[in-house]
Structure 1
Amino acid sequence: MTITVKTARYLILLLFALLFVMPFLWIWFSALKSTAEINQDPFGVPATLHWENLAEAWTTGRFGSYIGNSVLYAAFVVPLVTAFSCLAGYALGTRRLPGERLIFGAFLLGIMIPFQSIMIPQYYLVRDLGILGTYWGVIVPSVALGLAFGVFLMRAFFRGLPEEISNAARIDGATEWRVFTRIILPLARPGIITLVVLQFMFTWNMFLIPLLYGQDEGLRPISTGIMFFVGEYSVDRSMIAAGVTLASIPIIALYLLLQRHFIQGMTAGALK
């Protein structure tokens, strides 16, 4: 009976793993097909591997010039969102502040209100700040939009940490900043890594913000390069799949790089 239950569990896990992997395999197979082959058999295995699709997508989509912008945006947005979210999340999650619920409710509005409903007022705000059509015109709104989810995530994580450790450090004479940097942040490593991965994914894939606030082809990120494969009367499906494959490589690489640290942080005890 035990062996049967264990086998059933592994079969269920294998089923969910296949459901998770199938979209990736479909995109990767489509990236190595011709458009005619995709139209004939969208879900089939490619008969001939067209590796030249990746090179053509890199050139046609101008990924060589756009990838530098994506790296620049991620290098600014991800650290800033992570730092501000940790500071605000720690204050809202562990301290009793006047108007705490009102402040946290204001952050929650950033999650509940869709970007499409605020992009026009935000456009005028960016214009009035004098950063429209610059790198900062993309970075500043991206940081502001990322803070809502970041504060929500880190506040929930900080509230789940045991208070006894930080209280013991305060009794020993540690300042609040030392408690935050030396005790709380190491314990919050799983939440921080989760926020870094998710925010990097959001920043790397952002599309509307650069188009609205960048307003210059030299400021576009890699995600906008896929537009070159969509014409007025035709869509090059193989090139779109190849472009998506190229754009997703950094996200997959970052997740695989931080996965081990995420698991170690999740399994680490508070007294480690």
Structure 2
Amino acid sequence: MKTSVRERIPGLVLLFGTMIFSILPLLSMLTAALQPQGTVPLGLSWPANPQWHNFLDAWRVAEVTPLLVSSIILVAGVVPVAALFAAMAGYALGQLKIPGGTVVFLLLLLGLTLPKEATIVPLYYQLREMNLLNTRLGLILVLIGTFMPFAVFWMRAHFLSMPKELTEAADLDGAGPWQAFRHIQIPLAVPALASLCLLLFLWTWNTFLQAIVLIDDPSKRTMAGALQNFVGQYSTDVVLLNAGSLLIMAPTVVVFLLFQRHFVKAMIAGAVKG
């Protein structure tokens, strides 16, 4: 059914308002980052002489290069493993109907309700007993476990929306659950997996609390985890603070813009099937 222009106006107004609400903070940070160092930016105004070198200074002062490498290592360790485990668990809970699956799913939902602040102290002592404290491997394991409840919930919802006839046809052709998972279910789950990987990347890159508590060496933390040191040392220089914050945010914005179509595709597919 075709909608009229009058019916679309409220949606367009809401969309425009949301866009302004999202862009204004970034624009304010950009204009503040281009002001002369040592000044206190007031309001939203483009400087007459933009100081683009502030970004280079913030990169050097905050020692972003080792943090960038560390963040990439953490992302490479968390995202593929978490996505694989979530896909297998979601397939088992959504398609295979394994014994005790309902109990497992309820426990995962319980994990979604636990705040990070409530688990950080037990995780600290557990990693210390495992000799994984102050290591990237320990942080990777913590992040995988932290993200797993939502990741499994996400993939289970996808596999529940898949027609049962696909599994039945695979059984008739002699394909077991593993073959059906690899050759039938996974290719159809690409949009859901791509959107999940995008979320896992954003969450891993922006990890702050776990990186601060579980790793003492700043060079082994994420870029977001080192923001506390940057703020504590240069809290009076608002210009460098904004420049450093934009540097930390830039990779996540770029990745989201590149892969947002997969996220939207998964959302639309879930809405239609739901």
TM-score, structure 2 as length reference:
0.88
What are the superposed Cα offsets for residues 39-58 of structure 1, whole Å, 9 maximum, x if unpaired? 4x233333331211111110
Correspondences of 1:193-204 after superposition (within 5 Å): 193-204=194-205
SS at match of 1:173: coil
The one-letter code matched in structure 1 to 2:34 is L
The match for 1:189 is 190
Preserved contact between residue 34 and residue 239 of structure 2 (Cα < 8 Å): yes
**Equivalent position to 1:33, from 32, 35, 41:** 35
The match for 1:13 is 15
Change (3 A) 1:207 1:7: closer
Correspondences of 1:52-201 after superposition (within 5 Å): 52-201=53-202
Change (3 A) 1:19 1:117: same
How far, CA to CA, are the matches of 1:102 and 1:87 in structure 2?
A: 17
What are the superposed Cα offsets for residues 133-161 of structure 1, whole Å, 9 maximum, x if unpaired? 22212111111111111111111121122
Change (3 A) 1:225 1:46: farther
Query: Is 1:45 the counterpart of 2:54 in the alignment?
Result: no
How far, CA to CA, are the matches of 2:236 and 2:227 in structure 1?
A: 11
Change (3 A) 1:226 1:19: same
Give the C-alpha shift of residue 237 in structure 1. 2.1
What are the superposed Cα offsets for residues 4-31 of structure 1, whole Å, 9 maximum, x if unpaired? 4445543443233222322222222222
Give the C-alpha shift of residue 73 in structure 1. 0.2
Question: Which structure 2 residue ranges, 5 or more long, are not aligned?
Answer: none
Change (3 A) 1:111 1:267: closer
The one-letter code matched in structure 2 to 1:231 is G
The one-letter code matched in structure 1 to 2:185 is I
TM-score, structure 1 as length reference:
0.88
Give the C-alpha shift of residue 225 in structure 1. 3.2
How far, CA to CA, are the matches of 1:232 and 1:69 in structure 2?
A: 21
Give the C-alpha shift of residue 112 in structure 1. 0.5
Preserved contact between residue 131 and residue 137 of structure 1 (Cα < 8 Å): yes
Preserved contact between residue 40 and residue 239 of structure 2 (Cα < 8 Å): yes
